[in-house]
Amino acid sequence: MSALELKIPPPLVAAITAAAMVSASLGLGPVLALPAGVRVGGALVLAAVGVGCDLAGLVAFRRAKTTVNPMAPHTSTHVVTTGIYRITRNPMYLGLVFILLGLALYLAAPWALLGPPAFAAYITRFQILPEERVLTERFGAAYTAYRSQVRRWL
């Protein structure tokens, strides 16, 4: 399974997950009876939080002048610990989870609710854990100390 590590860009994994969620909502079982305002409003709020997390992570990386390429953690030049990185070690992946949660709420289909945790599990195994190994090798005690102070997700 290590052949999948750092191979598929996380936004593509999120897009595939979103497509599966939409497909599941079209043909598998009932739709939850939620008012349209709750579905749309809640989905927009969750998606906005997700986009905010993504942008905050991107801005922090740009300010530190380090790579934003998730496929190449070995090219990182700094351990970023400022901004949103004081709250979560993976704000861009967290942002994608929030966007998927917004989609799940909008779809109001029970099967679609499996998408966000499936995405999180895949990203943890095939993206985050390999990144953590590389960053520990590259930055040693500085990254280890950061890991001990800030959670992986929230």
Is residue 82 situated within a structural domain?
yes
pLDDT for 2 beyond 90:
no
Is residue 126 situated within a structural domain?
yes
Stated as kind and residue range, the H or E segment containing 46 is helix 36-63
Is residue 100 situated within a structural domain?
yes
Is residue 133 situated within a structural domain?
yes
| Count of structural domains, the chain | 1
Is residue 106 situated within a structural domain?
yes
Confidence of residue 45 (pLDDT cuts 50, 70, 90): very high
Contacts of 106 (CB under 8 A, 6+ apart): 39, 40, 42, 43
Burial (Cβ within 10 Å: 0-12, 13-18, ≥19) of residue 40: middle
CA 93 to mean position of chain CA atoms: 2
Is residue 64 situated within a structural domain?
yes
Is residue 99 situated within a structural domain?
yes
Range of the domain at 42: 9-149
pLDDT for 128 beyond 90:
yes
Confidence of residue 1 (pLDDT cuts 50, 70, 90): low
Is residue 154 situated within a structural domain?
no
Alpha-carbon distance of 99 to 48, in angstroms, equals 8
* pLDDT at position 31: 83
